[in-house]
Structure 1
Amino acid sequence: MKVCHVVALPYPGRGHINPLMNLCKLLVSRRPDILITFLVTEEWLDFMGSETKPKNIQFATVPNVIPSELVHANNFFAFLEAVFTKMEASFEKVLDEFEFASLITI
């Protein structure tokens, strides 16, 4: 069976992580031939804890190259700039580590 590998990268802020995880769970419940790598910052992986997830959802992390979730509201524009500039290289590095023929990002 051919497996479709999806990389899901939520915006790293409150209110974005859980909805995307719920969508991922819905996708794999309907299509067992999908493998989802849920990509978050190291900090967000710690926040998520040990929530039960389907076996075809795996986690990967990018380094904490953006201001912490705990303080980013102090300078939201600096946080946005970091998300749009500093996360790209880390995201591409993680993608380079995967070995797959095609990629769908959501």
Structure 2
Amino acid sequence: RFGALIFDYPEAETETEIVHKESGVDREIAEKLVQISHRARNLKGHGLDEGISTRLLVYAGQLIAKGVEPVAACTMTMVTPLTDDPDMRDTLDAAVQTFFG
């Protein structure tokens, strides 16, 4: 038999530090990524099946640290993988534009 553990997302400050250290972006960029994820997580159950994971934030940060433009990095790692619904993509893209546009 297997046991189950319930995990939630880290607190914003902790998650920002994780993204900063694991991806190599500065804290300001990491904070923006976390803020985008919080907006998306509020849509869970309202059009999204899942929120943006800390892992996806790290992937976006890694791309940004390697010189990929932030909007493109977020689209590749945080928008497109979550949904194929055009309206939901527009909503997520708007959140990205709020912080990186």
TM-score by length of 1: 0.29
Q: Higher helix fraction: Structure 1 or Structure 2?
A: 2
Larger radius of gyration: 1
